[in-house]
Structure 1
């Protein structure tokens, strides 16, 4: 039972963190550590009670992630090609392709280090694996908890449904990505009304340099054209970024009601990071996601993770620096 103590401890931290505020990246890390220590405890327990099964579990714990990594690299490369074909060669659309090629590069480095058996190459390979392992662990924590966060229940009562804006097509037309948010926002609004609330729907988005009108106005027009009551819409038309969407929307809601409660709507790949940002901005509400095209999800998720990783750059880059310095020290004393 003692072997499971670390897993149970981190799972307790996870439960307490979710109860305190589910919009915390620390919850994702605690859940990831609980899973890792739980798997190690299972393998260790099997090894002591049933050595053969313990050996099988240990091999599986090594082989399955290795095979999964190769499959993941192929999937990311294929998805990257699809992204470029459908969305163009903008840097953001190349993320999954670059990630897949990067994984293959690390695999090639490991094979070269094992084959050549040179001390310098082994140190470089070990340091690279440490860096990639750290980032990969955080990425899996991010993806796993983002999936879980998107399925946690939200409030049954709310005063506002806030729909975050995005760019417009041709400077005036709502694109499919934004239409998906608006339709989910309408669904959330109707569900709240059915439960007895009288919410307002707040469209949030200012006017970009290439847009003919503020995004919030185009979003409101989209809803009204489809039968949504115009007197239940509030427009926030100053924001240019997600941070400003949340901050300016909060100001409008607090101006009307200091004790407001809200539900924020964005796309599913963006929901968890938007929740982290909402917590930082002091917004009193959780975030829900709307469907996104499957081919778009991998690159968008990588972009979201990179933003969260850099939002905690002091800790994350500090750990990466320590790993590099550790590799340099081994190189120096070898």
Structure 2
């Protein structure tokens, strides 16, 4: 049973973190460590298993990662092509394609190092694997915890529903991505209104340089044209970033009710990072995600992870540097 002690410890630490505030990236890392220790403990139990069971498990341990890597590379490359075809060639649309090519490059480097027996290539390959392994671990933690966070639905009454803007088509029309957020925000509003306590829905978004009007005004007009009650709509029309969305909306909410509670609505791929930002800016509420087109989700999720990774760049780059040094020393 001692083999399970580290897993239990980190599950408990993760649980404490969630009870304190579920909007913490440290919760994701603690959960990832707990699952890793649990997996190691279960693998250790194989030595007590019958030979056939142990052999089958060992074969699965070897084959599944290999097949999973091939499937992942294929998926990322295919999704990258789809993104380019549907959304055009822009840096943000190339992320899944670049991730797939990056995995291919690391695997190719490993094969080349083994085939040639080159010491320098061996150092580079080991270093690359360690750094990529660390980043991949954080990415899995991010995706796994973001999925769990997204299962959380608002159950208590709130005073405000804040819908974050995301840009307009032609500088004035609400695109499908933003419409999805507005429909989700309206859903939250109607669920609470049915209980007799309708909240105020705040549309949040300023006017970009290529837009004819503030996003919040186009969002509010979209709702009003579809029968949403005007007296329950407020506009925050100064923000240009997610952080400003939340800060300026927070000022509106605190001005109306200092002890407010709210729900922030964005797309599901953006929900966890928005929750981290909401915590940092002191917004009293959780984030609720709306559906996103399946083809759009992988690149968008990679972009969100990259933003979170870079927001802790001192720690992450420090660890990557340390792992690179370990890889060099191990290859000497």
Q: TM-score range by the shorter chain?
A: over 0.9
Deviation of 1:325 after TM superposition, in Å, equals 1.8
1:21 maps onto 2:24 in alignment? no
Counterpart residue number, 1:289: 289
Equivalent residue number for residue 239 of structure 1: 239
Judge conservation of contact 1:156–1:195 (CA < 8 Å) in 2. no
Corresponding residue of 2:109: 109
Q: In structure 1, what is the Cα distance between the partners aligned to 2:59 and 2:115? A: 22
Deviation of 1:259 (Å)? 0.3
The structural deviation recorded for 1:49 is 4.4
Q: 2:61 maps to which residue?
A: 61
In structure 2, distance between residues paired with 1:194 and 1:133: 48
Contact 2:190 2:198 in 1 (8 A): no
**8 Å Cα contact 1:127/1:323 also seen in 2:** yes
Write out aligned runs for 1:1-334 (5 A): 1-50=1-50, 52-331=52-331, 334=332
Q: Secondary structure at the match of 1:8?
A: helix
> What SS is found at the alignment partner of 2:296?
helix
Q: Deviations over 1:5-47 (max 9, x none)?
A: 1111111111111111100011111111111111110010121
Hey, what's the Cα distance between the residues in 2 that align with 1:57 and 1:298?
A: 30
Q: 2:295 is paired with a residue of what secondary structure?
A: helix
Q: CA deviation at 1:52?
A: 4.8
Deviations 1:288-331 (A, max 9, x none): 11111110000000000000001111111110010112233345
Distance 1:31 1:73 in 2: 25
Q: Contact 1:70/1:104 (CA < 8 Å) preserved in 2? A: no
Q: Distance in 1 between matches of 2:225 and 2:324?
A: 57
- Scaled by the length of structure 2, the TM-score of the pair is 0.97
* 8 Å CA contact retained: 2:203, 2:233: yes
Unaligned runs of 5+ in 1: none
Partner Cα distance (2:23, 2:305) in 1:
15
2:246 and 2:122 map into 1 onto residues whose CA distance is 47
Q: In 2, distance between residues paired with 1:37 and 1:53?
A: 21
Contact 1:163/1:185 (<8 A) preserved: yes
Q: CA deviation at 1:60?
A: 2.3
Following superposition, the deviation at residue 121 of structure 1 comes to 1.7
Number of aligned residues: 332
For structure 2, list consecutive stretches of 5 or more residues without a partner in the other structure.
Answer: none
Shift of the alpha carbon at 1:195?
Answer: 2.5
Supply the distance in 2 between the matched residues of 1:225 and 1:46 (Cα, whole angstroms).
Answer: 62
